[in-house]
Amino acid sequence: MVGIVALCTTPSVQGQAATISVKDYSASHPMIISHRGSPLKFPEHSFAGYNYAMAHGGHFMEQDIILSKDGQLVDSHDNNLHRTLGHNIDITKSTLKQVDRYKFKNGERLHTLGQLFDHYHQRTNYVIETKKTAQGHYKLEKEIIKTIKAHHEKDNVVLQSFSINSLKYMHKRLPGVPEMALVNGPDSTKLKRIVPKLPRYINIVAFYIPGDTTSNVKLCRKYHKLPAAYVLDSDKQLDNGYKTGLGGLFTDNTAKTEVFYHRIAKKPELLTQ
């Protein structure tokens, strides 16, 4: 049984942690992952966004990690910063000092994984994605593993990637840490090819929601994987996710999603129509 940490449900960044298992998650009690923090209200991957998600019940904060030119682990979905910061530069071609020249509108800079660990410690769980970079030989994975170990956060992380090789490499060095295989594409064909071949240590499979959610969930369950999907925000999407049996989901709106599942827990018959 793989242990990870979840906060209490009190709306506070200062929540206390309790060890639970991936196997504890279900359709009525899914693993709710705050997708890039709270991007509908604050800059992606900002402290402000993570704080808001945690204050509204979020237990899992997503990080997209890119390796900078000087080997720093930068938390950013995009390698190029034009969309998020308005500057046409690539993280992989820049040093952290160069990246730090640019700020979000709220005054924050992009954070490193180490800075996130120093800021939140064990007050939340980290869902860390390895992003493609210009540097091969698992340099990104090596730095992530080193940083997790240095900050003693092994019990507070879920590792995710579109690359099975990346997950395999990290599993050998961090055995027992939950891992999530990400699958892109709007249909189920790719999922049907991938899931039966996944190793046992990959606990979770996350797929794109426009696909056939019901058959995807059944497929994941058949091979003993927690079925998850991205990204669910509307009432219709949340309702469909519950009805089809998702055990995990990514959301841009943690507050709304937490309220939805609290309502389901109290009165399952009050589903949206």
Q: Say what the pTM is.
A: 0.92
What does the pLDDT look like over 243-266, one tens digit per residue?
999 999 999 999 999 999 999 888
Q: Residue 28: is its pLDDT beyond 60?
A: yes
For the record, the structure tokens of 48 come out as 């402000």
Higher pLDDT, 266 or 211: 266
CATH level 3 topology of 3-266: TIM Barrel (3.20.20)
How far is the C-alpha of 67 from the C-alpha of 98, rounded, in Å? 13
In this model, does residue 137 exceed pLDDT 80? yes
Taking the domains of the chain in order of start, what are their residue ranges? 3-266
Distance in angstroms (rounded) separating the CA atoms of residues 182 and 160: 7
Predicted confidence at residue 135, as pLDDT, reads: 66
Residue pair 143/76 in contact (Cβ under 8 Å)? The answer is no
What is the arithmetic mean of pLDDT over 205-233?
93
Cα atoms in the Cβ-side hemisphere of radius 13 Å centred on 255 = 13
Q: What is the pLDDT of residue 133?
A: 64
The residue to which tokens 């990346």 are assigned: 166
pLDDT at residue 20 greater than cutoff 80: no
Q: For the residues 201-208, what does the mean pLDDT come to?
A: 95
**pLDDT above 90 for 39:** yes
**pLDDT tens profile 71-124:** 999 999 999 999 999 999 999 999 999 999 999 999 999 999 999 999 999 999
Lowest-pLDDT range of 142-151, 156-165, 204-213? 204-213
Residues 44-71: pLDDT tens digits?
Answer: 999 999 999 999 999 999 999 999 999 9
How many whole angstroms separate alpha carbon 112 and alpha carbon 103? 14
Q: Give Cα separations from 58 to 5, 9, 33, 46 (angstroms).
A: 12, 8, 7, 15
Predicted local confidence at residue 132, as pLDDT: 74
